[in-house]
Amino acid sequence: MSTPAISPTASNPLWNRFGSYAVAVALAAFIALPLAWMVISSIKPADQLFSSPPRILADHWTINWYVTVFRDSGAAVFFWNSLVVGLSSTIFCLVIGTLAAYAITRFDFPGKSAFLIAALVTYMFPAIVLFVPIYMILNTLSLIDTRIGLVICHTILTFPFAVWMLKSFFETLPREIDEAAWVDGCSYLGTFIRIVLPLSLPGIFSVAIFVFVLSWNEFLFASIVMTSSDLKTVPVGISEFITSFDIRWGEIMALGTLATVPVVVLFSLVQRYFLRGVLSGAVKG
Amino acid sequence: MSNAANAAARGRAFTGLAFATPAILFMAVFVAYPVWEAIRLSFVAVDAFTGAEKFVGFRNYQELANAPKLWPVLINTGIWTFWSLIGQFGLGLVAALAINRDIPGMGAIRSILLLPYVVPVIALALFWRWMLDGSFGIVAVSFQDMGLLAPDQSPLALPSGAMWSVILANIWRGFPFVMISYWAALQAIPPEQYEAAQVDGATTMQQFRFVTLPNLWNVTKVLLVLRFIWTVTFFDIIWLITKGGPAGSTEHWPIWIYQETMGFFRFGYGSALAVSLGVMILVVIAIYGLVIRATSGARP
């Protein structure tokens, strides 16, 4: 992220430094308080979680809900499934994505611009419009209720922005590096694997985290592809906890916290690449 | 010599194509073909048990045009989209102006403001419902104490309360994206523009009106299209918080598609709904593009 080029006071006469603090803190509270409330609720004992009127803080805390969730419910398997699907989607998306992005930045081939435009259109294309035919294609291929089926869906969702982000990373590598390797007799594939990939690892790593986070959070396709309970991912598995007659809020807040923490930690590792991605228009919201 | 150069160019074109082939095949099978399939399926009736297809012409479209819930769903979709966008762009602009100062602690605040981008929608739906729970939810009980709700009542049990709850959840989730985009645009404004305005004697308010806001216009034009598409078609928040209820009061177009297909297994009808949604989005964007083009000449 480049440093601000302008005097910040010039862009915003509406309020001064303290006004900026006040507005920013108020908005941060709007974001953080519900999250904090989820975490606090997940470590409150039952008598204080279900007190009327609600109490902000408890006089003692407990990790009981977390224990219950893993001991008495099938929740652990949801996390395992999300991990497997997330990692598989990441690897699959990155393999075909890096190859395509490399082809786009280093070679001229017929249909290149059509491919780039198709990726851009797909990036804007809403999943809900295409989920019926995709469901039926997966059904024909017998991929419903398989991890491969969901990996394909998550690659459809993440592939377009992965290609655009990888393209912007590969463009920052000088072509002379590749050309020197070719002159030295290195094959195209060898150059790609041994020279280009290692040099763009930070960029590839950040794209990998975006793909993983999106896969981890994705609900629509996960809910239609995975039907048997031992294959369900975190969002689908948890969503079924709250349709039961008694809503067990303690367990649910523990599950919500557990679903959120991994992606927040991962995201904080690559936040500055995220900002760069927004600048290049390659991030989907 | 030129033959050799041609051969080299052909070789490189071939190599490029080879590198891109897995991606092209994937896009062809799982993106291009589904687009075609969605259109084709919208003209057939699919038997839910045998999977047998029967061509029915425009009957799916006729049915949706005459569906009793067509107008309620359209109105819900409009309310949901309009107020979500107003909230996201309004808060996004205010937030971008606030974080665009390098003062101590602002880095941490920016990090907090980015969190909704990665918080899973399922977690958002869970703590939203927990806060709005009629008996123990901290927000619902506060509203009850203020007399805005009857005792033990959740806003999610009221039609308008449910709609505002999901819209607010969507604003919570979406405004940071607008904020970051505006923040990037603010940083790209050349300082010379402010200096020139100051030389001309512009007040700070005039600088904001005639330098800052016009410089945000370009990003707004693009961002509106993207956020519009993603808001109209956003399914998860409403489904996970209200499932379209109570009594269909938060049922918008994507929920309708989902219910017809995954609830009633009417894949042909669901495809007609999906294609109609796609066409409506394209029409809105085309009109928007024409309006932008017609008014852009008139701007100072």
* Residue A219 in this model has a pLDDT that exceeds 70: yes
Q: In this complex, do A9 and B229 lie within 8 Å of one another by their Cβ atoms?
A: no
Given this model, what pLDDT does residue A243 score?
62
| C-alpha A184, offset from chain centre | 40
Given this model, what pLDDT does residue A284 score?
47
Q: In this complex, do A12 and B27 lie within 8 Å of one another by their Cβ atoms?
A: no
Given this model, what pLDDT does residue B141 score?
86
- Summarize pLDDT for B67-80 with one digit per residue, the tens: 999 999 999 999 99
Residue B45 β-bridge partners: B54
Q: Determine, yes or no, domain membership for B230.
A: yes
B297 burial via Cβ count (<10 Å: 0-12, 13-18, 19+):
exposed
A106 touching chain B per CB within 8 A: yes
Is residue A58 domain-shared with residue A81, that is, in the same domain? Answer: no
Q: Determine, yes or no, domain membership for B267.
A: yes
Which positions 9-38 of A are in contact with B (Cβ < 8 Å)? 9-15, 17, 19-21, 23-25, 27-28, 30-32, 34-35, 37-38
At position B285, the amino acid (one-letter code) is: I
A115 touching chain B per CB within 8 A: yes
Q: Which two tokens stand for residue B248?
A: 């269909």
- Summarize pLDDT for B213-268 with one digit per residue, the tens: 888 998 899 899 989 999 999 999 999 999 988 889 999 999 999 999 988 989 99
Distance from CA of B76 to the nearest CA of A (A): 17
A137 touching chain B per CB within 8 A: yes
Q: How confident is the model at residue A244 (pLDDT cuts 50, 70, 90)?
A: low
Q: Of A52, A67, A82, which one is at a domain's C-terminal end? A: A67
Is residue A143 domain-shared with residue A230, that is, in the same domain? Answer: yes
Q: How confident is the model at residue A281 (pLDDT cuts 50, 70, 90)?
A: low
A69 touching chain B per CB within 8 A: no
In angstroms, the Cα distances linking A62 to A65, A251, A262 are: 8, 12, 21
How many folded domains does chain A comprise?
Answer: 2
- Give the integer Cα–Cα distance in Å for A233 and A217: 9
The overall average pLDDT reported for chain A is 84
- Summarize pLDDT for A18-56 with one digit per residue, the tens: 888 889 999 999 999 999 999 998 988 887 888 777 778
Q: Which of A26-30, A218-222, B67-71, B97-101 has the lowest mean pLDDT?
A: B97-101
Q: Determine, yes or no, domain membership for B291.
A: yes
Is residue A38 domain-shared with residue A134, that is, in the same domain? Answer: no
- pTM for the predicted model, two decimal places: 0.89
Q: Determine, yes or no, domain membership for A196.
A: yes
Q: Determine, yes or no, domain membership for B79.
A: yes
B204 touching chain A per CB within 8 A: yes
B23 touching chain A per CB within 8 A: yes
Q: Determine, yes or no, domain membership for B12.
A: no
Is residue A131 domain-shared with residue A251, that is, in the same domain? Answer: yes
Residue A160 preceded by cis peptide, ω within 30:
no
Name, in order, each residue with C-beta under 8 angstroms of A183's C-beta and a sequence gap of 6 or more: none
- Summarize pLDDT for A187-212 with one digit per residue, the tens: 888 888 888 888 888 888 888 998 99
Distance from CA of B243 to the nearest CA of A (A): 11
Give the long-range contacts of residues A243-249, CB within 8 A, separation 24 or more.
Answer: A247/B133, A249/A41, A249/A49, A249/A50, A249/B130, A249/B133, A249/B136
Q: In this complex, do B19 and A107 lie within 8 Å of one another by their Cβ atoms?
A: yes
What ipTM was predicted for this assembly?
0.87
- Counting one residue from chain A and one from chain B, the pairs whose CB atoms sit within 8 A come to 332
Domain, as residue range, for B121:
59-296
In this structure, the number of other CB atoms found within 10 A of the CB of residue B161 comes to 21
In angstroms, the Cα distances linking B88 to A30, B229, B270 are: 13, 14, 30
Given this model, what pLDDT does residue B116 score?
93
User: Cα torsion for B107, B111, B113, B118, to the nearest 10°?
Assistant: 170
Instruction: Tell me how many degrees the CA angle B68-B72-B77 measures, rounded to the nearest 5.
Output: 135
Percentage of residues in chain B with pLDDT exceeding 70?
98
Percentage of residues in chain A with pLDDT exceeding 90?
34
Q: Determine, yes or no, domain membership for B269.
A: yes
Most confident of A12-16, A270-274, B31-35, B188-192: B31-35
Given this model, what pLDDT does residue A12 score?
64
Q: Are strands B53-55 and B44-46 parallel, antiparallel or unpaired?
A: antiparallel
A142: CATH: 1.10.3720.10
Q: In this complex, do B24 and A111 lie within 8 Å of one another by their Cβ atoms?
A: yes
User: Which of B6, B14, B19 best tests the A interface by mutation, with the highest count of A CBs <10 A?
Assistant: B19
Task: Establish how many alpha carbons lie within 13 A of residue B256's alpha carbon, considering only the half-sphere containing its beta carbon.
Answer: 28
Is residue A167 domain-shared with residue A55, that is, in the same domain? Answer: no
Which positions 67-86 of B are in contact with A (Cβ < 8 Å)? none
Q: Which two tokens stand for residue A105?
A: 């930045």
All residues of chain A having their beta carbon less than 8 Å from the beta carbon of residue B94 are: 23, 27
- Asked whether B170 and B84 are in contact (CB, 8 A), the reply is yes
For residues B131-157, average pLDDT: 86
Q: Determine, yes or no, domain membership for B136.
A: yes
Given this model, what pLDDT does residue A6 score?
44
How many folded domains does chain B comprise?
Answer: 1
Which positions 234-273 of A are in contact with B (Cβ < 8 Å)? 234-235, 238-239, 242, 247, 249, 252-253, 255-257, 259-260, 263-264, 266-268, 271
Most confident of A132-136, A277-281, B171-175: B171-175
- Give the integer Cα–Cα distance in Å for A254 and B261: 32
For residues B274-279, average pLDDT: 93
Is residue A133 domain-shared with residue A193, that is, in the same domain? Answer: yes
Q: Determine, yes or no, domain membership for A2.
A: no
Q: In this complex, do B191 and A219 lie within 8 Å of one another by their Cβ atoms?
A: no
B290 burial via Cβ count (<10 Å: 0-12, 13-18, 19+):
exposed
Which positions 186-205 of A are in contact with B (Cβ < 8 Å)? 188, 192
Q: In this complex, do B136 and A8 lie within 8 Å of one another by their Cβ atoms?
A: no
Q: Which H/E stretch holds residue B44?
A: strand B44-46
Which positions 264-283 of B are in contact with A (Cβ < 8 Å)? 267, 270-271, 274-275, 277-278, 281
> How much helix, strand and coil, in percent to the nearest 5, is found in chain B?
75, 0, 25
At position A18, the amino acid (one-letter code) is: F
Q: Of A47, A67, A87, which one is at a domain's C-terminal end? A: A67
Distance from CA of B165 to the nearest CA of A (A): 13
* Residue A8 in this model has a pLDDT that exceeds 50: no
Q: How confident is the model at residue A2 (pLDDT cuts 50, 70, 90)?
A: very low
Query: Using CB atoms, which residue from A103, A135, A255 is nearest to B19?
Result: A103
Q: Which of B6-15, B241-250, B277-286, B291-300 has the lowest mean pLDDT?
A: B291-300
H and E: helices and strands count for chain A: 16, 0
All residues of chain B having their beta carbon less than 8 Å from the beta carbon of residue A3 are: 102
Q: In this complex, do B122 and A219 lie within 8 Å of one another by their Cβ atoms?
A: yes
All residues of chain A having their beta carbon less than 8 Å from the beta carbon of residue B18 are: 103
Q: Determine, yes or no, domain membership for A274.
A: yes
Task: Establish how many alpha carbons lie within 13 A of residue A162's alpha carbon, considering only the half-sphere containing its beta carbon.
Answer: 30
Q: How confident is the model at residue A5 (pLDDT cuts 50, 70, 90)?
A: very low
Residue where the block lists tokens 């070719």: A182
Is residue A134 domain-shared with residue A225, that is, in the same domain? Answer: yes
B49 touching chain A per CB within 8 A: no
Is residue A136 domain-shared with residue A51, that is, in the same domain? Answer: no
Q: Determine, yes or no, domain membership for A285.
A: no
B163: CATH: 1.10.3720.10
In order, the DSSP letters of B71-97 are HHHHHHHHHHHHHHHHHHHHHHHHHHH
B199 touching chain A per CB within 8 A: no
* Residue B183 in this model has a pLDDT that exceeds 80: yes
Residue of A nearest to B117 (CA): A285
Q: Determine, yes or no, domain membership for A143.
A: yes
Q: How confident is the model at residue B12 (pLDDT cuts 50, 70, 90)?
A: confident
Q: Determine, yes or no, domain membership for B48.
A: no
In order, the DSSP letters of A56-105 are SS-SS---HHHHHHHHHSTHHHHHHHHHHHHHHHHHHHHHHHHHHHHHHH
- Give the integer Cα–Cα distance in Å for A9 and B207: 11
Distance from CA of B74 to the nearest CA of A (A): 16
Given this model, what pLDDT does residue B78 score?
96
Is residue A46 domain-shared with residue A173, that is, in the same domain? Answer: no
At position B267, the amino acid (one-letter code) is: F
Task: Establish how many alpha carbons lie within 13 A of residue A161's alpha carbon, considering only the half-sphere containing its beta carbon.
Answer: 24
Query: Using CB atoms, which residue from B23, B37, B204 is nearest to A133?
Result: B37
Please, what's the b/e burial string for A192-217 (b: 16 or more CB within 10 A of its CB; e: otherwise)? Answer: beebbeebbeebbebbbbbbbbbbbb
Is residue A37 domain-shared with residue A140, that is, in the same domain? Answer: no
Q: Determine, yes or no, domain membership for A236.
A: yes
Is residue A116 domain-shared with residue A61, that is, in the same domain? Answer: no
Domain, as residue range, for A48:
8-67
Is residue A190 domain-shared with residue A95, that is, in the same domain? Answer: yes
Q: In this complex, do A271 and B123 lie within 8 Å of one another by their Cβ atoms?
A: no
- Give the integer Cα–Cα distance in Å for B42 and B63: 12
